[in-house]
């Protein structure tokens, strides 16, 4: 069923192709017809010869030979028109018919994949080369199948590249929109329902860029829903050190849950690019087969272990953020207005009011200037 689904996906994209070479399509269609006809023909010849052999056996041993029930034959059966082949040749023809049919289906799949990939690359290149933001949004909306009016130029390019990566893998994406009337919060019930018919789902907690963190109970409900749906849930807890009360790492697990952690956010180890993935042995073994053999050097590992062991730093940082985050939110609203949404990480989601200023500098307490872009 997965192969059929992938084939339909390729054909669907291929049918939307605007630059299909008709000569190539004609050659592929002719090859498909020849291979398919050959395969079906061989199957028919083989079946006819096999049935005729059964008929000859029945004529020689009328009292002892039993016909296969699915043929619906009686003792008065006189046989089909023979092609002159014997039993052995008939069986060989019966067996030889399948490769032709399988080859034709494989050809269709490869042709559709090639056309779909070419079309996808052309669309993504058009987006990346487009200087007109409304036009780029329109092109990306066609690629991802959702409204992209809220995306800026960087968001448009990122969405196009993400779609390219997923498309080359032969997959499809499903997006879950966050709504302003819900303060851009993730609805656990809606997210759980969206897991249906998905193989892989990503959830960032705290979310980026909103900073909102789901409670641990809600995360468990989503993880349970993913397990029931047979969907692997990748929980990105890159910023979870800022809100340990919402983290699942070390507190819950199931066979379909992977948890990502980063040491570059809370501990500031940006240059080391260090983090880790936790999950069931079965899934980690599969991932390990596809990763590079060397990823983190020994110095980065030592630094990461030292950072994790610094309990005092962790407590002081959490206490500092508990007072600095709301203070910064209040001062941003006081200085420039707008809405600062509640957050649990070390960043704020700030909706600025419509204003004629751009790149205006505002003064914040503690000699910490911020520049609005």
- Say if 138 falls within a structural domain: no
Point out which residues pair with 200 in neighbouring strands: 232
CA-to-CA distance for 259 and 203, rounded, in angstroms? 10
Tell whether 16 and 37 lie within a shared domain: yes
For residue 134, the model assigns a pLDDT of 78
**Is the Cβ–Cβ distance between 277 and 259 less than 8 Å?**
yes
Three-class SS state of 346: coil
- Say if 130 falls within a structural domain: no
Estimate to the nearest angstrom the gap between the alpha carbon of 287 and the chain centroid: 15
Q: Is the bond preceding residue 333 a cis peptide, omega within 30 degrees?
A: no
For residue 31, the model assigns a pLDDT of 64
Containing domain of residue 270, as a range? Answer: 176-312
Q: How far is CA 121 from CA 185, 239, 340, in A?
A: 34, 34, 39
- Say if 127 falls within a structural domain: no
Cβ atoms within 10 Å of 46's Cβ, excluding its own: 22
CATH number (domain holding residue 270): 3.40.640.10
Number of domains composing the chain: 3
Q: What is the DSSP letter of 171?
A: -
Tell whether 181 and 300 lie within a shared domain: yes
pTM: 0.62
For residue 292, the model assigns a pLDDT of 79
Of 272, 289, 312, the domain-final residue:
312
Tell whether 115 and 233 lie within a shared domain: no
For residue 260, the model assigns a pLDDT of 95
Tell whether 192 and 292 lie within a shared domain: yes
Q: Residue 63 contacts by C-beta under 8 Å, 6 or more apart in sequence?
A: none
Q: How far is CA 371 from CA 65, 168, 321, 323, 359, in A?
A: 93, 39, 21, 22, 6
Tell whether 301 and 182 lie within a shared domain: yes
- Six token digits for residue 87: 């039993």
Tell whether 91 and 188 lie within a shared domain: no
Point out which residues pair with 362 in neighbouring strands: 370
Tell whether 267 and 186 lie within a shared domain: yes
Element (H, E) at 53: helix 22-60
Q: 10-residue block means of pLDDT along the chain (373 residues)?
A: 51 47 56 62 59 57 48 42 46 53 62 66 75 76 67 73 69 80 92 92 93 95 95 96 94 94 91 90 90 83 92 95 94 90 93 64 47 37
- Six token digits for residue 230: 């047979």
Tell whether 250 and 339 lie within a shared domain: no
For residue 339, the model assigns a pLDDT of 92
Tell whether 24 and 103 lie within a shared domain: yes
- Say if 132 falls within a structural domain: no
Estimate to the nearest angstrom the gap between the alpha carbon of 326 and the chain centroid: 36
Tell whether 293 and 223 lie within a shared domain: yes
CA atoms within 13 A on the CB side of 234: 14
H helix runs in 81-231, sequence order: 87-128, 133-144, 153-168, 188-194, 216-229
CA-to-CA distance for 58 and 300, rounded, in angstroms? 79
Tell whether 185 and 296 lie within a shared domain: yes
For residue 34, the model assigns a pLDDT of 64
In terms of Cβ atoms closer than 10 Å to its own Cβ (0-12, 13-18, 19+), residue 184 is: middle
Element (H, E) at 278: strand 275-278
**Is the Cβ–Cβ distance between 20 and 79 less than 8 Å?**
no
Q: How far is CA 265 from CA 194, 242, 303, 311, in A?
A: 29, 9, 14, 16
Tell whether 255 and 344 lie within a shared domain: no
CA-to-CA distance for 348 and 350, rounded, in angstroms? 6
- Say if 156 falls within a structural domain: no
For residue 341, the model assigns a pLDDT of 94
For residue 369, the model assigns a pLDDT of 39
CA-to-CA distance for 30 and 240, rounded, in angstroms? 58
- Say if 32 falls within a structural domain: yes
């Amino acid at each position: 069923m997965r192969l059929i689904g992938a084939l339909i996906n390729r054909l669907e994209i291929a049918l939307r192709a605007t630059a299909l070479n008709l000569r190539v399509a004609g050659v592929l269609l002719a090859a498909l017809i020849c291979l398919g006809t050959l395969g079906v023909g061989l199957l028919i010849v083989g079946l006819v010869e096999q049935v005729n052999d059964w008929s000859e056996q029945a004529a020689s041993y009328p009292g002892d030979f039993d016909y296969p029930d699915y043929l619906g034959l009686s003792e008065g059966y006189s046989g089909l028109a023979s092609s002159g082949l014997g039993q052995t040749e008939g069986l060989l023809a019966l067996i030889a018919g399948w490769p032709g049919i399988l080859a034709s289906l494989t050809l269709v799949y490869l042709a559709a994949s090639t056309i779909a990939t070419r079309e996808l690359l052309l669309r993504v290149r058009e987006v990346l080369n487009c200087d007109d933001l409304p036009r780029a949004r329109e092109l990306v909306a066609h690629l991802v199948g959702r409204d992209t009016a809220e995306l800026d130029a960087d968001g448009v390019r990122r969405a196009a590249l993400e779609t390219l990566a997923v498309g080359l893998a032969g997959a499809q994406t499903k997006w879950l929109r966050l709504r302003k009337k819900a303060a851009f919060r993730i609805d656990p019930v809606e997210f759980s329902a969206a897991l249906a018919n998905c193989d892989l789902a990503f959830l960032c907690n705290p979310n980026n860029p909103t900073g909102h963190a789901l409670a641990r109970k809600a995360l468990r409900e989503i993880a349970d829903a993913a397990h029931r749906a047979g969907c692997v849930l990748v929980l990105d807890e890159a910023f979870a050190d800022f809100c340990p009360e919402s983290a699942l790492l070390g507190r819950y697990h199931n066979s379909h849950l992977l948890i990502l952690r980063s040491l570059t956010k809370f501990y500031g180890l940006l240059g080391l690019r260090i983090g880790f993935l936790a999950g069931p042995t079965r899934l980690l073994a599969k991932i390990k087969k596809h990763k590079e053999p060397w990823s983190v050097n020994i110095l980065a590992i030592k630094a990461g272990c030292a950072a994790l062991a610094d309990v005092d730093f962790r407590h002081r940082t959490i206490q500092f953020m508990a007072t600095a985050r709301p203070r910064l939110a209040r001062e941003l609203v006081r200085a420039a207005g707008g809405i600062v949404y509640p957050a649990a990480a070390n960043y704020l989601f700030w909706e600025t009011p419509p204003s004629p200023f751009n790149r205006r500098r505002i003064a914040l307490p503690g000699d910490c200037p911020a520049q609005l872009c």
